Structure 1
């Protein structure tokens, strides 16, 4: 039998935060629902109340400001991100990675914030956002705080969100605006699929930055390298930093192999 729960759709941030303060761990926030509803049907998630975020206008905002950077509201979908002119112009790696996420239909529902909050090691948005130095804004009745994305995800399906908090938005700063880069994702099939392993890389100024997903409990951000760094140096640091596993989708050895392959391909593309 499907788990039963109450439903609330607040229309203001104050009302939302009050609900989360009242219900705490018994509440689950709902934006795209592509992970939450699957979990409810499988009996993995058993919230007492589901709090819908989509009636709060500010949470659907996706905007670019030359001083702050790119602001991605909690309800902004992946297709909103992929299609936004400022993303294609200033943060092209996000558009590339977003287009790799699931199907077009799912991207119309799935949110960028949700992809991060789910904290899956194979999430498509985490590694490019790490490369760009993204931060996460959390709000509650107690106030507001901002965490670097690299600190926000702490393990498989684990984050720094407190029971009474909601991620209101992701901020991508202007520090690495107009960075050149790419995203490579290994899948079991040519169509849409979860990532077996993926690598994101950007060149910003005189710096190379690389992040890897599906190769450790959390996405891995490598230390910055100079633009003239050898492919062997970056590959060596990557192999030292990751800890892939064997599972039904891939062996750990093949994951390691493909990380090296993707680093080589991305570096060639960036330098061409």
Structure 2
């Protein structure tokens, strides 16, 4: 199984977003070709002159898409409904509030939102009797190296991580401009973030928020509750992480 992972928003007190998300899109290895073929066909239908067009949530999940840029809206609607919801795909995500103070993650420790996401991927892999390779959106060589080392420390040094035995130890870093799996993770991360910002526990009736809520409704059907292998607790597929978990190592 391939688990494509991307984030939306940033964890900083001055971030423009009130919510940030870390999201995984899990695709069985024997379904990857089918999923990528569907992505190719949609891009070819809508953007034949730009077949390598990158699906970027930050450029398409905007009010403009429901007001003027109808092709972007059509693009996203088709990807969500024809690819994500019409394939053997599972979505898991951790959502976080914007912190009130700067969060400094220890260089050698895997931040809690990564830990909680990996637990969900591992729980799903266990239910499917599969192992999972983690694929991240590549940022830069130094940042990629830090994430890779943190993941290895978590999997090999912590008692909790050692129980995530279905996670392949070597994380891969790929370019989102050419990798459709990362683009799917980016889109799901953006939809989930926008939903929590605009719709969650709020009253809304504007066209853009209604569109986001509809997209989230479809995405949420592609997640599931899994069992944590180190606590025997049930873990919600899409989880709003308590603020304190940004600063300490408490479990769910």
TM-score above 0.5: no
Larger Rg over CA atoms: 1
Larger relative helix fraction: 2
